[in-house]
Amino acid sequence: MKKLLIFCSLFFFSTAFFAQPKMLEEQVNKIEPKVIEWRHDLHQYAELSNREFKTAKKVEAHLRQLGLEVKTQIAHTGVVGILKGAKPGPTVALRADMDALPVTERVNLPYASKERDTYLGQEVGVMHACGHDTHVAMLMGVAEILTSMKNELEGNVVFIFQPAEEGAPPGEEGGAELMIKEGLMNDIKADVIFGLHINSLLEVGKIRYKPGGTLAAADQFYITVKGKQTHGSQPWAGVDPIVVAAQIINGLQTIISRQTELTKEAAVISVGKIQGGVRNNIIPESCEMIGTIRTLDTTMQRIIHDKIRLTATKIAESAGAEAEVNIITGYPVTFNDIELTRTMLPTIYRTAGEENVLLSPAVTGAEDFSFFAREVPGLFLFLGGRPASIDMFDAAPHHTPDFYVDDSGMNLGMRTLLNLTLDYMKMNKGMKP
């Protein structure tokens, strides 16, 4: 009963006093055409990870025009704008990612990308095939609206425009991890961070959320199986690393299906590449495979890593071969702070309508927002981008040439970021910045 009273009082407080919802809605509607124009421009001139030079310049120019304190060239191309409110209160960080993907666009749009670049030595098309252009445009709009409210703000807002969410090119560092390594979170001293990701399968007007682990940790593994080369007609004279590799692949799958508590959280092991040998009648000396590990729980992550090493080495030993296992830790679990999620849920309900807010299952995709959420309490949401006229089963998934999200989804995205910011400030007003 006590928890219910607290929840109800928070909901009433947010509805009655927070953020003048009608006024905010009018401001969002007013700026929406400009945000759509920004989005179309960003989409048409998409740029790859760590190469977001034009995008960064556009963001920088906008933030400087608003009169914000601006920091540039963070983690190569990152841009940060700092808005200092007139009244004491917390510091809220809002994050948008800027990079596109090496994908050639197939969608028939007047603002479709025709950009080309080089990726891994190959000429490729460049497309915002994950919706990061909408994230940037929305945050530019939110920055403009909040700046107009500077004299009423009870705290500070930091607008983080982050490069290389899709991962830095080989041999380079980048993304949220590098921003933190360079000291960004120490400099801005944020109390909380909010972010959202538009989704091509979720209908416009809806929001998905999940407390706790919402997106998976993404790690890579490399396994080299060393056997003994021999003629293909005499396998008994050597040790076949390709057969051993096949047995290891099957063994890795039993880690998930028979040794992992999947009722606790989801987990995935996938082999993405296997390579060995040069011709049909030579059993090679070695075989290599690479793959991905997705986990949503840090304890399960550690156990699965250990089991991969054990499974690969012991299967190899049983065949007289040797397996070398190298696991590289990538993005951590994107963790929505439990208390922050509970506290801000009334705000999300009020903004989207409770019937449009969906409790989501965990997603085995990964996000480097996770690095920010390890530094301060974070909340990461999914925003609908699929028009109601398109059936979910006909909507193209992310990272594909036919990926499409509708401009109309950005209105709710802006209102959500604005209300989260202002409501959090109101709940923590007077906090020393």
Question: Residue 416: pLDDT band by 50, 70, 90 thresholds?
Answer: very high
- Tell me the pLDDT tens digit for each residue of 241-290: 999 999 999 999 999 999 999 999 999 999 999 999 999 999 999 999 99
**Domain assignment present for 92:** yes
Please state, in angstroms and rounded to a whole number, the distance separating the CA atoms of residues 347 and 77: 33
**Domain assignment present for 432:** no
**Domain assignment present for 433:** no
**Residue 287 and residue 375 share a domain:** no
Last residue of a domain, one of 281, 305, 331: 331
- Tell me the pLDDT tens digit for each residue of 58-111: 999 999 999 999 999 999 999 999 999 999 999 999 999 999 999 999 999 999
Q: Kindly state the percentage of the chain with pLDDT values over 70.
A: 94
**Domain assignment present for 182:** yes
Query: What is the chain's mean pLDDT, rounded?
Result: 94
Please state, in angstroms and rounded to a whole number, the distance separating the CA atoms of residues 165 and 183: 18
**Residue 143 and residue 36 share a domain:** yes
Contact 222, 326 (CB under 8 A): yes
Tell me the residue type at 186: N
Residues 6 or more apart from 106 whose CB is under 8 A from it?
401, 402
Q: Based on the number of CB atoms within 10 Å of its own CB, is 40 exposed (0-12), middle (13-18) or buried (19 or more)?
A: middle
Please state, in angstroms and rounded to a whole number, the distance separating the CA atoms of residues 370 and 100: 19
Give the per-residue pLDDT at 432.
62
Residues 6 or more apart from 243 whose CB is under 8 A from it?
319
The dihedrals phi and psi of 42, each to the nearest 5 degrees, come to -65, -40
**Residue 125 maps to which CATH number?**
3.40.630.10
**Residue 317 and residue 284 share a domain:** yes
Give the per-residue pLDDT at 429.
84
Query: Token pair 């550690």 is at which residue?
Result: 302
Q: Per the structure block, which two tokens stand in for 91?
A: 């510091």
Residues 6 or more apart from 350 whose CB is under 8 A from it?
11, 14, 15, 21, 419
- Which helix (H) or strand (E) is 429 found in, with range? none
**Residue 147 and residue 175 share a domain:** yes
**Residue 149 and residue 88 share a domain:** yes
Active-site residue (options: 52, 60, 154, 165): 165
Q: Is the pLDDT of residue 413 over 70?
A: yes
Please state, in angstroms and rounded to a whole number, the distance separating the CA atoms of residues 253 and 256: 5
Of 323, 404, 422, 366, residue with least CA distance to 105: 404
Residue-wise over 104-119: b if at least 16 C-beta within 10 A, else e? ebebeeebebebeeeb
- Tell me the pLDDT tens digit for each residue of 358-371: 999 989 999 999 99
Give the per-residue pLDDT at 4.
42
**Domain assignment present for 348:** yes
429 or 135, higher pLDDT? 135
Q: Which domain holds residue 269?
A: 217-331
- Tell me the pLDDT tens digit for each residue of 310-347: 999 999 999 999 999 999 999 999 999 999 999 999 99
Dihedral sign (CA 391, 392, 393, 394) = positive
407 included as an active-site residue: no
**Domain assignment present for 111:** yes
Please state, in angstroms and rounded to a whole number, the distance separating the CA atoms of residues 138 and 417: 9
Tell me the residue type at 341: T
Q: How far is residue 30 CA from its own chain's centroid?
A: 29
Residue 288 pairs in a beta bridge with 224, 275
Residue 322 pairs in a beta bridge with 226
Count: domains in the chain: 2
**Residue 149 and residue 43 share a domain:** yes
Active-site residue (options: 97, 99, 203, 423): 99
**Domain assignment present for 15:** yes
DSSP-derived 3-state class of residue 269? strand
3-state secondary structure 165-220: CCCCCCCCCCHHHHHHHCCHHHHHCCCEEEEEEEEEEEECCCEEECCEEEECEEEE
Q: What is the mean pLDDT of residues 378-391?
A: 97
Q: Is the pLDDT of residue 35 over 80?
A: yes
Last residue of a domain, one of 299, 331, 363: 331
Of 354, 340, 365, 364, residue with least CA distance to 421: 340
Q: Is the pLDDT of residue 19 over 90?
A: no
Please state, in angstroms and rounded to a whole number, the distance separating the CA atoms of residues 382 and 403: 16
CA-to-CA dists, residue 79 to 91, 101, 142, 371, angstroms: 17, 20, 15, 17
Q: Is the pLDDT of residue 5 over 80?
A: no
**Mode of pairing for the β-strands spanning 87-97 and 154-162:** parallel
**Residue 347 and residue 318 share a domain:** no
99 included as an active-site residue: yes
**Residue 101 and residue 164 share a domain:** yes
